[in-house]
Amino acid sequence: MSLAHACVDVYQGAVAALVPFFVAERAYAYAAASGVVLAASLLSSVAQPLFGLLTDRWALPWLLPASTLAAAGGVALSGVGGSYALTLAAFAVSGVGVAAYHPEAARAARAAGGDGHRAMGWFALGGNVGFALAPLLVAGVVVPWGLAATPVLAVPGVVGAVLCGVTARRRGAVVAPAGDHARGRADWPAFLRLSGAVVCRSLVFTGLSTFVALYVRERTGGGAAAGTLALCVLYAGGAVGTLAGSRLAGRYGRLAVVRASYAVTLVAVAGVLVVPGPLLYGCVALASAGLYVPFSLHITLGQDCLPGRVGTASGVTLGLTVSVGGIAAPALGALADATSLRAGLVPLLVPPVVAWVLVRGVREPGGQGVAGSGSSSDA
């Protein structure tokens, strides 16, 4: 499940990684370039909770390979032809594929792992590795051959579909009745607060991933390699941050770790805006840690707030984490077009503060506290 997750999330990372190439090769303005992120994000953010509702009623293992191929196909076709409308449509198809994949995959991973933090941490790690590899994959394909070579980017999707097919045959790991998780009462107020915090996290992550490559190139005077490196740093921190989050949660509690992460994110984004030169990479790395440490904790907290609705909770927390921020990307791009790219990133200072305030009102579901880190009763 973790390896397949990596293959799917390559296509979420690829969207932002392709933005500088659309700007350079097709002369897109910042607002137009961020529109491709919106195309991939809008349908995905709306559809993921709907797919979550479906997976709460029925186990849909066939959806895993099918959605993987859709995610891959959209990105593969994004650079074919020069029509902006067709490019948006291709990214929209990819976004729907991502939306269909995550709720069922997160439910299956929770059922297979039977562990509250660590198993989900490994599952989330796979996705974050896919994110981290995306800029390298995109640069390796598009730099030498241009956007017309994007069909080559379908290769990870084919591999992921095969892995998903193998997983789907292990029906004991994938087809777990939703009722297995139906313990306790749903805490909708806490879940809504948590979802608001996830949206805030998404706004910062998507804003940075969309523009950090262009911003670092501008601030450091480097070329495409400098921007790709910054994006890799932002994504690569997920590998360390996700596993660190599950370990820290076992010691200090999930909510304490999540709150601290939002505070770190605020400091890091401020550093990105004011720190000069190559030191920017250190601030990007710190932002990565602040954004990724709570990644898997959001998922398990949401699932525990809504026992019996694991698919719905996963569709909202895991889906919104990586999709809804794209809705705000065109607004940031328009502000950057009207002022400067640096000024366009200033609004990203607000969401971490809002997230911290929202989570202050959330209590550990079921009173688990620190002790709930490793038992299957977390479900």
Per CATH, is 1-173 categorized as 3.40.50.720?
Answer: no
CA dist., res. 99 & res. 306, Å (int): 20
Q: Average pLDDT in the 228-232 region?
A: 85
CATH 1.20.1250.20 maps onto the chain at 1-173, 184-364
The pLDDT tens digits for 358-367 are: 999 888 886 5
Structure-derived torsion over alpha carbons of residues 104, 48, 353, 363, reported in degrees to the nearest 10: -50
The one-character DSSP state at 378 is G
Contacts of 31 (CB under 8 A, 6+ apart): 330, 333, 334, 336, 337
pTM (two decimals): 0.72
Q: Average pLDDT in the 16-36 region?
A: 84
In the structure, what pLDDT confidence band is assigned to residue 374 with cuts at 50, 70 and 90? very low
Top pLDDT among 51 and 191 is at 191
Per CATH, is 184-364 categorized as 2.40.110.10?
Answer: no
Query: Tokens 């890091």 appear where?
Result: 268
The pLDDT tens digits for 266-309 are: 999 999 999 987 889 999 999 999 998 998 888 888 888 888 78
The pLDDT tens digits for 92-120 are: 999 899 888 888 887 777 777 665 567 77
Structure-derived torsion over alpha carbons of residues 202, 226, 36, 42, reported in degrees to the nearest 10: -10
Lowest-confidence range among 41-55, 244-258, 310-324? Answer: 310-324
**What pLDDT, on a 0 to 100 scale, did the predictor assign at position 321?**
59
Integer CA distances (angstroms), 208 to 27, 235, 271, in order = 21, 10, 13
Mean of pLDDT over the chain = 83
Q: Average pLDDT in the 180-205 region?
A: 83
